[in-house]
């Protein structure tokens, strides 16, 4: 469906994307996880067949986007980070006008628009202008707009950034439904929970490169442990206490506000720490997440 | 809650999608213009009526009276100014559609990026915006032309060639202004500067209200480089039988052809570059 080999985008002497390889298979939900500035959006622009690569190979739906941009884009659905909805137009018009760009017949679009508004749970906002809608509604409208041409691949750039938790869950539910319908989805995110929820497989990007690739579970298994024990000894004591804690787990990471101990049994490690006479101010055992994978791979946390 | 019927990649006919993108962008621009239809219609009708009554009939009455009709080769003043007013209306009419809409598209709302995510190409977006401006120009010129006819300011036979020469000026000017707006990162008052330091002198010194030859030679150049003058000279050939050597008529058309060609190259480059960043 989509394959990139040594894909590069260089602006002047800055490599925004610095030689990355990945493949996306039909029907899968593929994620690009990374902090701001990792090169996710640049990658997204290239696989949207809009921004031309400066090196490497990219094949989308069997075609080269540097040559066949419009033809490829005819079968892509793009949901940009900033929605880019038309504020002069009503909700239904945004969908209708967008469908027209693909040369879709007006009559067909009339039915499609209603179907999409229902899917996006925006039937009662049909005649509202974009500014009268909440952020979550606007994002759902943008997703509906990306689906108007029944694309082979739906591309979402940071789909839930800036949304409140409830709006995020509504959106996840909609995307989940698309996944069930067999739509191929590619999304970028800097939220690990989103990647875990929505992606079958993902790559972790940092500084224009891919650091790791796999399913969320595989990545956690490879780069983290089953559980994580979070200990807080106070800002000035975390650093000096870490070496004493290290022996109770597989690995230890020190963050400014806490110490993370990677272990397969968090409770047991906690008991061992307390038994050794150390007194953490607070402690917490949790499942390892992609955040830990990222920390392991880059030495930094995702949301700086 | 509803389920979506979905057949990925089946509904879009690629050959159809990649052709005619410019028309669909124009369709969108016109839909957008419809939100301002009352302003566009009333300006299209009100502007010529105001000018014709005040300048044509008022000032014209004074001039005709004072000169006993011997000035301007015996041509009534209203007929003298009519081609210039029409050309000027065409130029101003198209301008509205290639200034702020382009800023919106690239900078303020970034609509062009959303359009470019579809099968529509950067050039097609540029063409579509220009096409919509031309359609607005046609509307303006037709309205204005008919009102000129009603006021007896132009002969019936001259209506079509006059509208054409005005529209040509409008199209070339639209491309030229779009070459500027497509390269602007921010408005920064550039359009206001164009309005004050380009449009205003052009309106005053292009032989609009008096023959350009009456001006001293050191301000005559303003007319020569002004699309309004070239269009007005062409128009006056059709309406009041202004006599000009053939080469000069060719220069008028060549002027617009060059202005359009150079501008459109700049426009395409800017659109392709900015949308592909």
- From chain B, pick out residues whose CB is under 8 angstroms from the CB of A122: none
The domain in which residue B202 lies consists of 20-275
**Nearest neighbour of A149 by CB, restricted to B12, B35, B111:** B12
Task: Tell me what pLDDT residue A262 has.
Answer: 93
Do A62 and A206 have their domain in common?
A: yes
Classify the complex by whether its ipTM is higher than 0.95, answering yes or no: no
Is the residue at B4 inside a domain? no
Residues of chain A neighbouring B16 (CB-CB closer than 8 A) = 103
Task: Confirm or reject contact between B115 and chain A (CB < 8 A).
Answer: yes
Mean of the pLDDT values across residues B212-232?
91
**A167 and A284 share one domain:** no
A96 to A100, A126, A149, A218, B31: CA distances (angstroms) = 6, 11, 11, 42, 11
Q: Which of residues 176-215 of A touch B (CB under 8 A)?
A: 177-178, 181-184
Residue of chain B nearest A44, judged by CA positions: B117
Contacts of B115 in chain A (CB under 8 A): 101
CATH number of residue A120's parent domain: 3.40.50.300
Task: Provide the domain count of chain A.
Answer: 2
User: Whole domain around residue A256: which residue ranges?
Assistant: 225-288
CA distance A110 to A113: 5
Task: Categorize the per-residue pLDDT at B244 as very low, low, confident or very high, splitting at 50, 70 and 90.
Answer: very high
| Residue-level pLDDT at B187 | 79
**Range of lowest pLDDT (A161-165, B92-96, B132-136):** A161-165
Domain count, chain B: 1
Is residue B13 one of the residues assigned to a domain? no
Q: For residue A28, count other CB atoms closer than 10 A to its CB.
A: 17
Query: Could you tell me if A111 and A8 lie in one domain?
Result: yes
Cβ atoms of residues B178 and B123 within 8 Å: no
Q: What is the pTM of this model?
A: 0.90
The domain that holds A258 is classified in CATH as 3.30.70.980
pLDDT of residue B27: 94
Mean pLDDT of chain B: 91
pLDDT digit string (tens) for chain A, length 304 residues: 899 999 999 998 899 999 999 999 999 999 999 888 889 999 999 999 999 999 999 999 999 999 999 999 999 999 998 889 999 899 999 999 999 999 999 999 999 999 999 989 999 999 999 999 998 899 999 999 999 999 999 999 988 888 888 888 888 888 888 888 888 999 998 888 888 888 999 999 999 999 999 999 899 888 888 899 999 998 888 888 888 888 898 989 888 889 999 999 999 999 999 999 888 899 999 998 888 888 888 877 665 5
Domain end marker among A190, A215, A240? A215
Query: What is the token pair recorded at B94?
Result: 């198209």
Predicted local distance difference test score (pLDDT) of residue B2: 53
List the structure tokens of A6: 């040594």
Query: With an 8 Å Cβ cutoff, are B2 and A118 in contact?
Result: yes
Instruction: Tell me what the mean pLDDT of segment B62-89 comes to.
Output: 86
Sheet with A153-157: strands ordered across: A76-79, A153-157, A184-189, A29-33, A201-206, A209-214
The pLDDT assigned to A302 comes to 61
pLDDT of B195 above 90: no
Q: Is the pLDDT of residue B229 over 80?
A: yes
**Is residue A154 one of the residues assigned to a domain?**
yes
Q: For residues B159 and B119, what is the distance between their CA atoms, to the nearest angstrom?
A: 40
At B1, is the pLDDT very low, low, confident or very high (cuts 50, 70, 90)?
A: very low
């Amino acid at each position: 469906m989509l394959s990139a080999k040594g894909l590069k985008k260089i602006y002047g002497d800055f490599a925004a994307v610095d030689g990355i390889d990945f493949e996306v298979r039909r029907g899968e939900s593929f994620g690009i996880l990374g902090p701001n500035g990792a090169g996710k959006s640049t990658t997204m622009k290239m696989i949207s067949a809009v921004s031309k690569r400066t090196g490497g190979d990219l094949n989308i739906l069997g075609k080269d986007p540097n040559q066949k941009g419009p033809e490829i884009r005819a079968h892509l659905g793009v949901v940009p980070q900033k929605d880019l909805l038309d504020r002069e137009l009503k909700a239904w018009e945004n969908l209708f006008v967008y469908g027209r760009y693909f040369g879709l017949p007006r009559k067909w679009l009339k039915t499609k628009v209603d179907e999409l508004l229902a899917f996006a749970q925006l039937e009662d906002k049909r005649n509202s202008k974009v500014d009268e809608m909440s952020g979550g509604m606007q994002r759902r409208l943008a997703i509906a707009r990306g689906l108007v041409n029944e694309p082979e691949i739906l591309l979402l750039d940071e789909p839930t950034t800036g949304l409140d938790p409830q709006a995020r869950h509504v959106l996840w539910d909609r995307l989940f439904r698309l996944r069930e319908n067999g739509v191929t989805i590619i999304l970028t995110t800097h939220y690990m929970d989103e990647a875990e929820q929505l992606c079958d497989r993902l790559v972790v990007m940092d500084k224009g490169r891919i650091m790791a690739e796999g399913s969320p579970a595989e990545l956690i298994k490879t780069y983290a442990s089953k559980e994580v024990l979070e200990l807080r000894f106070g800002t000035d004591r975390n650093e000096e206490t870490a070496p004493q804690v290290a022996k109770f787990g597989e690995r230890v990471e020190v963050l400014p506000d806490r110490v993370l101990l990677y272990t397969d049994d968090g409770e047991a490690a906690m008991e061992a720490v307390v038994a050794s006479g150390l007194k953490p101010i607070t402690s917490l055992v949790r499942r390892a997440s992609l955040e830990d994978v990222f920390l392991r791979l880059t030495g930094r946390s995702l949301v700086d | 809650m509803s389920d979506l019927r979905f057949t990925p990649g089946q509904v879009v006919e690629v050959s159809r999608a990649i052709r005619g993108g410019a028309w669909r962008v124009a369709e969108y621009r016109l839909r957008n213009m419809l939100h301002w239809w009352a302003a566009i219609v009333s300006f299209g009708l009100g502007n010529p009526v105001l000018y014709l009554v005040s300048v044509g009939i008022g000032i014209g009455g004074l001039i005709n009276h004072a000169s006993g009709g011997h000035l301007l080769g015996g041509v009534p003043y209203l007929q003298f100014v009519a081609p210039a007013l029409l050309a000027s209306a065409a130029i101003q009419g198209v301008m509205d559609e290639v200034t702020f809409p382009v800023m919106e598209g690239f900078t303020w709302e970034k609509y062009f990026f959303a359009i470019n995510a579809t099968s529509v190409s950067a050039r097609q977006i540029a063409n579509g915006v220009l096409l919509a401006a031309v359609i607005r120009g046609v509307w303006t010129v037709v309205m204005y032309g008919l009102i000129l006819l009603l006021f007896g300011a132009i002969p019936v036979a001259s209506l079509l060639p006059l509208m054409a020469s005005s529209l040509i000026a409008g199209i070339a000017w639209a491309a030229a202004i779009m070459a500027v707006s497509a390269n602007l990162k921010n408005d920064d008052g550039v359009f206001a500067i164009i309005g004050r330091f380009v449009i205003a002198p052009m309106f005053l010194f292009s032989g609009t209200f008096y023959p350009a030859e009456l001006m001293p030679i050191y301000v005559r150049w303003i007319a020569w480089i002004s699309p309004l003058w070239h269009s007005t000279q062409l128009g006056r050939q059709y309406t009041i039988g202004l006599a000009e050597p053939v080469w000069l008529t060719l220069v008028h058309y060549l002027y617009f052809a060059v202005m359009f060609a150079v501008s459109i190259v700049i426009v395409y480059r800017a659109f392709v570059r900015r949308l592909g960043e």
